[in-house]
Structure 1
């Protein structure tokens, strides 16, 4: 007798008929594919399912029959039960009855009684989860996904529709069996009634975990999250404080809090997520030529057991949708996304909210109640194991570089974990790379001084014209994940002492969050994708007119690609496989470059507007070329230079370009990369060495090798010009004259004017944030500090930076900067400093050709020398100020 016939003979005729009618509409996928290997031979099997519907019984019977498992319809051996299956949820009525989550006390107690009566017997409980319409990675029409599997225990009619529409995507998940005898032995003298209730709770918890892994956590009803937030003790205290402070009734303050949490909270809907995913599939096909994910398998393998926080780069509004869409179609739960409240537009906002977006205001200042509620909402998501996504840059990058991180969301995340450190947190950096941006033109306008256009529904409708264009390929590269617990242990061996207290703010917390933010940005950059547009931008923007002869461009593309391949930045950087000729053809096809025919050889160029936009894509990968650009910069104005000088100056400048580009090395690591880069240039013939490798020399200015080096150097030279602007402006004004904010403004104005008077500069050349970062690094290096009056003072190390500028910047550039910096009214000399080290005047100062800067430094050092002479006659003198 076959297994099939034995199953059929035990089933009633109406059950067999229903199974045959349903069979054409249902296609099963078992997980695992061979569940029989999980069972212990010779031990009776009892299956446990979530609901008691006819369809689930039919699906279970068919899955067991096809897998060669014991039939759920046969009597349970050794018991009086007529079936070897029971459900945790019971429904009253047949078609439209209500479903109740009842504990099957009587059923479990019967099993326990039978077990007690047969000391040598045992029963295997096998939980079986059945999901209709959630096969990971499957794409269906928008109407079908409305009836896909979710957390709602639907009635018979809706289940029938789900089977008819989505039955071919049915998953039957068999869990490892549980020995009833072992449970009884572990419970000791526990009464059967209590044990049966405990078993029911354990089984329900097990099914919830399986369902959460397959379709995501149960946040379909935000009411449960809203209630949890409003009932949390910190929020109740904040409501009471608001009522007392504003002298309003508690009920009115509570209604205000309720309104705020409704403004914030997501209203996650699995059917909406699947519907939008289906619509986006067509949208992406119209917009992009392909979406690639790299190293996703590594990210998926690292995620189990962790609360995953996705922290991608932020380049476009499309970032939100792209990452969520790719995760969904790859069978991973869509994360909840922190979105700016400016995106909570009519029509769009509700859709985003149901797709997992929760909204936050740009500033929490002046609204303590809002701050407490938002923090509690984030804590509730983390406690419930909900994956999240947020952009630590705070906003979209307008320059193509990673922005300085804002630590607000990171701080909330870390504090929420410290409050309830149940599930470890894993930060997953993601690099998102484009070949063309929908917002490109608006970014350039904003960098040029135009106000940011406020998001609106009308603006969104007008923006639909972008669908007429093609935007090339998109890459999502998953970087090296970062575990929070090791970072906590490195910050403080006693970090667990801060757990449980929602108000805890240990001294090590803020530095930890800052280091974590920087590490995330570094790991994002370490997962960069280099596409043909990036390489074309690096090459063409390195020439004054953004044009190259075709042969030169081919050679430059080959050189850059070879550098990235031979000296890999990290094992997660991906580089286009296209050959140089194919890159040029692709750039022409995308409209980035234009070919000018000429009898002596074609010229490829980027016109004015594309050239400005290309700077964005050059900046995406500028960090990958940092070592090459530095070495090349050393030979812009020098024919010969010692290897030791290249490395020494690189060590000095590294902290500043490291802070700007989020480079991964320490100073010694950067020096080692410079050594490898010099060796690469020697192998390629761009440099020659003599004196047993100690002296480096490039070819004459008209040499091809010198031309290649100039192109590489120009990608980074404007950064050094910005540094010199900041130093010149500070020294030109004198110590104790400018605050950090005033210096930022001064530098921005100088850079803007310089870009107007000289060749066109990149839009970020006068970006105030870049000057702010450089000044911050000067303070971190204790080259500059703030006096008690909030003004900047500086040390003699600034002298070295002025002197070293001669190596990199030409005399004309330095003269132009000094002329603009001194075009205003000259500040009177400051009185002798009352604090700070007092270095002696060195011969190197007198050798500096920049008279204005040298004179100011000379004044400063003479005054400091005089002050030191006076201090020698006093037992106690004022101490150098500490960095603020």
Structure 2
């Protein structure tokens, strides 16, 4: 029998090698699942299929995993390296686990009694032929799993490129034996647990059935909440309820997605071509976090940062290839234009107007539609920043969608809702040229088909893209920890804790996104060049600065989730110079090479620097303090940092708690001393003149931020009772003057929203009294620090502008 099976598998190998592409999930299971292949492994497949085995074996060999058809030889005893869990499916239900499989488990467990150093790893594996969840249709039976023979051959032809081999977390038999023993019942339990696992895995990969769109509309339009809103609409506008209902139907049709699995498959082909055309690879990190949440039955809400329109496409593509369900995506109504609007809808987009203000019917319908998506178990994605960041920094969160998410949890949601922040980054953003024009005052161009075609024409080598899944936030756990009263009075629409919780969760999302930033050659090179006032460095200086950054990031890690480059400084610089549309020039003189930014590229490069500015702001602040004081006691450094840190923390969504700040600063000082950038003797920090150039470049990372703080603080010193709106406007005007006179290219330097956030921070940290006037004594203390770290000419410009403004 075994000889016949071997022959049959050989016959299958040739056609399947052409028809079925290797698609392992995860892409590197040895590393991502932390498999110890020095120990024996046993693969468990859900049901008997020689076709699945051939495909699975091909993936194993390509990944460097043990060959499944070669038996394990454990101290002279041979046992199979793979088992099928059951015989397949009957018409309506699966058969039980095979006795043969239970016996194999039992034999492995018995070996663990005899050999204490043995630890066999049981690895569940399934082959997913396509990912269609099917549609809701009560008149039809659920689709059955594809069978062998003709149907399997057809599947190989049709789903060959969409067949995935899913490797799951290994189960340690040593752990099982130590905890539960090694009798027959444990072998049976292992088989039962594996069956449950495969059932969960299938659901996590396909998701719930796709909705019947009209049936969903009918259900929503019968909900008491929407019926009340329709009645109010009719009354307030003096129209019939029938007309108000028609308006509600139009709103639903405008909002709702129309997901098509075939549309997703077509999109996958296009996106595969697009990424190969645009980028030199997409690096994905921590997807295992999301796979675990999906297996555990969580309702997943993806909240990525927003850099580009590409974000929508990239995240869905990555999730599909990580074996996860693509989400329903909240997209701006501006993207609902021909022909891409319908395509986005089929890919899962549901459209949202920029504002709900004054339209109760629309806001009610949208909120109920979102709650229905949660109730049905669909994953959801929305951009908490509201729009794309034009500066490269995270924008202040817009809390409307988070508020609706929390309301869904309060009302009828039974599955746990978990928010997954996602860092999305690029070495080169498609729209960055447009962002620069908009920041200079150009009107935002309306999205249309012509704009899409112009963007496609620009497709070229843009470096790498990054998707990093940050630390998830399970909403019920967060509320239990911070607002234990949240379960009281569930029918109350806006309890006292609600708004604070929404703000707290939204802020934590931004912090977690920043904790997962991707450091790459482009943003490091941009940071170094922009730190030079002339935006130019010799090749040697630039390489030295890049190496200093790399050493700091590796020795004082910002967070475990940050993606760091593995290349050397020389390799990174070579990579950046080979990218298109970067605007970095290499010039030669008698002394060597000078690398500089073109004038027009300086603003563009600040975008990439700002992607990682939060990683460097604290060491930049320490470097700036030491540089400007030349010699200073360590406790005074700590005091200065502690006064400025609350503002930096709020502005840049920093994760270090105030109570942990001194430990972090100590680590930074030690690293700067290790790199010989500063001297540290008898509790005094001082500059090391032989390496002062590197220290100067480090200090520049916080220069413009401190200048902004000084502008607002100086105005308040002069006019302590200035109203908030006037203070924002005056601060912006002074900053614009400063940027012209001192060549400051940072687009966020005179952003009114940044000044508004700083003023809020001043209030939160006690810089205003109860009457709303500035506390001049505290401001004097703050300005005493700022004045030391800002050049004399900039200080004079600020003072002069403030005095003119007073006149």
Bin of the TM-score, shorter chain as denominator length: 0.7 to 0.9
Q: For 2:361 and 2:723, how far apart are their aligned partners in 1? A: 34
Instruction: Confirm or deny: 8 A CA contact 1:26 1:170 kept in the other structure.
Output: no
Q: Match for residue 228 of structure 1?
A: 219
Map 1:814-833 to 2 at 5 A: 814-826=795-807
Q: For 2:209 and 2:202, how far apart are their aligned partners in 1? A: 9
Match of 1:493 among 484, 487, 490: 484
Q: For 1:458 and 1:540, how far apart are their aligned partners in 2? A: 35
Instruction: Confirm or deny: 8 A CA contact 1:393 1:406 kept in the other structure.
Output: yes
Deviation (angstroms), 1:686: 1.2
Q: Write the deviation string for residues 382-426 of structure 1: whole angstroms up to 9, x where unpaired.
A: 111111111111111111111111111111001101102411111
Are residues 623 and 85 of structure 1, via their aligned partners in 2, closer, same or farther at CA, if it must alter by over 3 Å? closer
Map 1:771-782 to 2 at 5 A: 771-782=755-766
Are residues 651 and 137 of structure 1, via their aligned partners in 2, closer, same or farther at CA, if it must alter by over 3 Å? farther
Give the secondary structure class of the aligned counterpart of 2:714: helix
Deviation (angstroms), 1:445: 1.4
Are residues 148 and 69 of structure 1, via their aligned partners in 2, closer, same or farther at CA, if it must alter by over 3 Å? closer
Deviation (angstroms), 1:611: 2.0
Q: For 1:795 and 1:206, how far apart are their aligned partners in 2? A: 64
Q: Match for residue 105 of structure 1?
A: none
Match of 2:720 among 709, 718, 735: 735
Q: Match for residue 342 of structure 1?
A: 334
Q: Match for residue 736 of structure 2?
A: 752
Q: Write the deviation string for residues 357-392 of structure 1: whole angstroms up to 9, x where unpaired.
A: 111111110101111111101111111111111111
For the pair 1:323 / 2:315, whether they are aligned, the reply is: yes
Are residues 729 and 71 of structure 1, via their aligned partners in 2, closer, same or farther at CA, if it must alter by over 3 Å? closer
Q: For 2:165 and 2:523, how far apart are their aligned partners in 1? A: 47
Q: Match for residue 693 of structure 2?
A: 707
Give the secondary structure class of the aligned counterpart of 2:300: strand
Name stretches of at least 5 consecutive residues in structure 1 with no aligned partner. 6-18, 38-65, 73-83, 89-107, 109-122, 127-134, 139-144, 174-204, 827-884
Are residues 219 and 34 of structure 1, via their aligned partners in 2, closer, same or farther at CA, if it must alter by over 3 Å? closer
Q: Match for residue 174 of structure 2?
A: none
RMSD: 3.5
Instruction: Confirm or deny: 8 A CA contact 2:585 2:595 kept in the other structure.
Output: yes
Match of 1:765 among 740, 746, 749: 749
Q: Match for residue 519 of structure 1?
A: 508
Match of 1:365 among 346, 352, 357: 357
Deviation (angstroms), 1:25: 12
Instruction: Confirm or deny: 8 A CA contact 2:736 2:750 kept in the other structure.
Output: yes
Deviation (angstroms), 1:696: 1.2
Q: Match for residue 303 of structure 2?
A: 311
Larger radius of gyration: 1
Could you state the TM-score of these two structures normalised by the residue count of structure 2? 0.78
For the pair 1:432 / 2:452, whether they are aligned, the reply is: no
Query: What count of residue pairs does the alignment treat as equivalent?
Result: 682
Give the secondary structure class of the aligned counterpart of 2:284: strand
Match of 2:552 among 556, 563, 576: 563
Instruction: Confirm or deny: 8 A CA contact 1:786 1:793 kept in the other structure.
Output: no
For the pair 1:532 / 2:537, whether they are aligned, the reply is: no
Deviation (angstroms), 1:303: 3.6
Deviation (angstroms), 1:464: 2.4
Instruction: Confirm or deny: 8 A CA contact 1:211 1:217 kept in the other structure.
Output: no
Instruction: Confirm or deny: 8 A CA contact 1:740 1:792 kept in the other structure.
Output: no
Deviation (angstroms), 1:824: 3.3
Are residues 210 and 687 of structure 1, via their aligned partners in 2, closer, same or farther at CA, if it must alter by over 3 Å? closer
Q: For 1:357 and 1:328, how far apart are their aligned partners in 2? A: 15
Q: Match for residue 86 of structure 1?
A: 91
Deviation (angstroms), 1:124: 5.5
Q: Match for residue 45 of structure 2?
A: 33
Q: For 2:87 and 2:570, how far apart are their aligned partners in 1? A: 65
For the pair 1:718 / 2:704, whether they are aligned, the reply is: yes
Deviation (angstroms), 1:171: 9.3
Q: For 1:163 and 1:554, how far apart are their aligned partners in 2? A: 53
Are residues 164 and 637 of structure 1, via their aligned partners in 2, closer, same or farther at CA, if it must alter by over 3 Å? closer
Instruction: Confirm or deny: 8 A CA contact 1:292 1:476 kept in the other structure.
Output: yes
Instruction: Confirm or deny: 8 A CA contact 1:31 1:172 kept in the other structure.
Output: no
Deviation (angstroms), 1:212: 4.0
Instruction: Confirm or deny: 8 A CA contact 1:491 1:508 kept in the other structure.
Output: no
Instruction: Confirm or deny: 8 A CA contact 2:127 2:163 kept in the other structure.
Output: no
Are residues 486 and 772 of structure 1, via their aligned partners in 2, closer, same or farther at CA, if it must alter by over 3 Å? same
Q: For 1:27 and 1:290, how far apart are their aligned partners in 2? A: 22
Map 1:616-695 to 2 at 5 A: 616-690=607-681, 692=682, 694-695=683-684
Q: Match for residue 783 of structure 2?
A: 802
Q: For 1:803 and 1:23, how far apart are their aligned partners in 2? A: 73
Q: For 2:472 and 2:383, how far apart are their aligned partners in 1? A: 15
Q: Match for residue 461 of structure 1?
A: 453
Q: Write the deviation string for residues 207-264 of structure 1: whole angstroms up to 9, x where unpaired.
A: 9977643322222432232222212111111111111222211111111111111111
Give the secondary structure class of the aligned counterpart of 2:627: coil
Q: Match for residue 53 of structure 1?
A: none
Q: Match for residue 384 of structure 1?
A: 376
Instruction: Confirm or deny: 8 A CA contact 2:86 2:96 kept in the other structure.
Output: no
Are residues 136 and 759 of structure 1, via their aligned partners in 2, closer, same or farther at CA, if it must alter by over 3 Å? farther
Q: Match for residue 845 of structure 1?
A: none
Deviation (angstroms), 1:172: 12
Instruction: Confirm or deny: 8 A CA contact 1:315 1:400 kept in the other structure.
Output: yes
Give the secondary structure class of the aligned counterpart of 1:219: coil
Q: Write the deviation string for residues 50-70 of structure 1: whole angstroms up to 9, x where unpaired.
A: xxxxxxxxxxxxxxxx98899
Instruction: Confirm or deny: 8 A CA contact 2:47 2:87 kept in the other structure.
Output: no
Could you state the TM-score of these two structures normalised by the residue count of structure 1? 0.72
Are residues 163 and 531 of structure 1, via their aligned partners in 2, closer, same or farther at CA, if it must alter by over 3 Å? closer
Instruction: Confirm or deny: 8 A CA contact 1:31 1:171 kept in the other structure.
Output: no
Give the secondary structure class of the aligned counterpart of 1:426: strand
Deviation (angstroms), 1:454: 1.8
Are residues 445 and 498 of structure 1, via their aligned partners in 2, closer, same or farther at CA, if it must alter by over 3 Å? farther
Map 1:220-259 to 2 at 5 A: 220-259=211-250
Instruction: Confirm or deny: 8 A CA contact 1:615 1:762 kept in the other structure.
Output: yes
Deviation (angstroms), 1:36: 8.0
Q: Match for residue 589 of structure 2?
A: 598
Are residues 823 and 137 of structure 1, via their aligned partners in 2, closer, same or farther at CA, if it must alter by over 3 Å? farther
Q: Write the deviation string for residues 28-72 of structure 1: whole angstroms up to 9, x where unpaired.
A: 9999516489xxxxxxxxxxxxxxxxxxxxxxxxxxxx9889979
Name stretches of at least 5 consecutive residues in structure 2 with no aligned partner. 6-11, 25-41, 50-81, 99-125, 145-149, 167-195
Deviation (angstroms), 1:637: 2.4
Q: Match for residue 402 of structure 1?
A: 394
Greater displacement, 458-467 / 668-677: 458-467
Instruction: Confirm or deny: 8 A CA contact 1:447 1:767 kept in the other structure.
Output: no
Q: For 2:19 and 2:545, how far apart are their aligned partners in 1? A: 58
Deviation (angstroms), 1:598: 1.9
Q: For 1:454 and 1:166, how far apart are their aligned partners in 2? A: 39
Are residues 36 and 657 of structure 1, via their aligned partners in 2, closer, same or farther at CA, if it must alter by over 3 Å? same
